Amino acid sequence: MTFKTEAGASAARIDPAVPDGVTRDAQGAAGRPRGDAALPLRIASAVVFLPLFVLAARVGGLVWLAFTLIVIGLGLREFYRMMESKGLAPHWKSGTFAGLLLPVGTYLRLQTGRTAEWNLGALFTVLAGAILLAELRRGAGKQAVGSIAATLLGVVYLGWFGSHIELLRELPRAWRLPYALGASFAILPFFLVWICDTAAYAVGLAFGRTRLMPDVSPQKSVEGAVAGLLAAVGAAFAARAWFAPYLTALDAAVLGTLVGVLGQLGDLVESLLKRDADAKDTSRIIPGHGGVLDRFDSVLFAAPVTAYYLLFRVLDR
């Protein structure tokens, strides 16, 4: 996640060059590690997290809002620390406050049954202006533009994209549907991303040979990416049969493709940011997995596309 599952990281490994200090014998004939030392921690994290995640989705309301705020808040802190490691000085307190207001605004807006975005747009306008004025208060500096841009990027990337996690759970209120249906909406992008990531990792590990974007993430392969895409489509059909009967066969094919592509692109975007900041993981807060941003990078792209697909193609029928 993404729930990056027991299997581990989101992508696909392909015969990377042997790292310094590791012999080829230790990695195996093809240059791959023989095992995943973090696997027990990943399994333990999944065993603890998954039931809590499903429970939060079922309860909804303030419980799901709290989950969303935790994900966005921790992700923003990791993001701003990466920006600080680059020598920038983002307004992390203001940015975090602004980022957390967006899902709260989404929650309050849908409590009234509205789907219009104008009030969130007004809120974001005020917050962006406040961040610009905060930089003005610092006075002239060499990194003024970079610090402002980094602050605003965090608000958009984590706050705005992440607010769609909350939007999905509260959608039934706006459409006068049974509130319990929101649990299915909320779980759907996570489920698709989880299956996509697992397939991409497993196939890439076993068969990956063609590098996808070596300058961004050397361990990801074309073979793994294709497998992830196909698995996401298959997962959408499985979701249709299991907990998302509102999807038609065409919906499953289209939404699975969209999430399979955009979810993996979201993973690559986060890899790009980490490479630019010279960071391997954004933090070590999740045992065996890394940081919150490491685990939810794909969902930040999958949640919005799922929300808008449901809004414009499913609920509007």
Q: Of 304 and 218, which is predicted with more confidence?
A: 304
**Distance in angstroms (rounded) separating the CA atoms of residues 280 and 19:** 14
Q: Of 261 and 7, which is predicted with more confidence?
A: 261
Q: Is the pLDDT of residue 305 over 50?
A: yes
Q: Of 209 and 23, which is predicted with more confidence?
A: 209
Which distant-in-sequence residues (6+ apart) come within 8 Å of 268 by Cβ?
212, 213, 216, 217, 220
Q: Of 240 and 37, which is predicted with more confidence?
A: 240
Tracing tokens 């023989």 back to the chain, one arrives at 34
Q: Is the pLDDT of residue 180 over 80?
A: yes
At 210 the pLDDT is 93
Q: What count of residues does the chain have? A: 317
**Distance in angstroms (rounded) separating the CA atoms of residues 163 and 123:** 14
Q: How far is CA 218 from CA 61, 194, 196, 209, 294, in A?
A: 41, 21, 19, 11, 16
Mean model confidence pLDDT for the chain: 84
Split at pLDDT 50, 70, 90, the class of 177 is very high
Q: How far is CA 231 from CA 151, 260, 261, 300, 311, in A?
A: 35, 8, 11, 19, 24
**Distance in angstroms (rounded) separating the CA atoms of residues 293 and 147:** 20
Where are the extended beta strands (E) located within 195-256? 211-213, 217-221
What DSSP character marks residue 18?
P
Split at pLDDT 50, 70, 90, the class of 1 is very low
At 17 the pLDDT is 36
Structure confidence by residue, pLDDT tens digits, 7-63 = 333 333 333 333 333 332 333 333 334 345 555 766 777 778 899 999 999 999 999
Per domain, the residue ranges of the chain are: 1-60+179-317, 62-178
Query: 211: helix, coil or strand?
Result: strand
Tracing tokens 């005020």 back to the chain, one arrives at 126
**What is the share, in percent, of the chain residues with pLDDT greater than 70?**
82
Split at pLDDT 50, 70, 90, the class of 186 is very high
- Contact by Cβ (8 Å): 202, 304: no
At 19 the pLDDT is 35
Q: What is the largest CA-CA distance in the chain?
A: 62
User: What one-character-per-residue DSSP string does 65-123 give?
Assistant: HHHHHHHHHHHHHHHHHHHHHTT----HHHHHHHHHHHHHHHHHHHHTT----HHHHHH
Phi first, then psi: give them for residue 316, nearest 5 degrees.
-90, 5
SS3 string of 278-315?
CCCCCCCCECCCECHHHHHHHHHHHHHHHHHHHHHHHC
Query: 38: helix, coil or strand?
Result: coil
- Proportion of the chain in helix, strand, coil states, percent, rounded to 5: 70, 5, 25
At 36 the pLDDT is 55
Q: Is the pLDDT of residue 269 over 60?
A: yes
Split at pLDDT 50, 70, 90, the class of 160 is very high
- CB neighbour burial string for 234-254, b if at least 16 within 10 angstroms, e if fewer: bbbbbbbeeebebbeeebbeb
Please give the structure tokens belonging to residue 231: 């698995």
At 302 the pLDDT is 98
Split at pLDDT 50, 70, 90, the class of 277 is confident
Q: Is the pLDDT of residue 206 over 70?
A: yes
Please give the structure tokens belonging to residue 232: 């996401």
**Distance in angstroms (rounded) separating the CA atoms of residues 294 and 300:** 11
Structure confidence by residue, pLDDT tens digits, 99-139 = 999 999 899 888 876 666 656 677 778 888 888 888 888 87
At 287 the pLDDT is 61
Q: Which of 38-42, 155-159, 294-298 has the lowest mean pLDDT?
A: 38-42
Tracing tokens 């792209």 back to the chain, one arrives at 301
Mean pLDDT of 145-159: 94
Structure confidence by residue, pLDDT tens digits, 64-89 = 999 999 999 999 999 999 999 988 99
At 13 the pLDDT is 36
- Contact by Cβ (8 Å): 133, 190: no
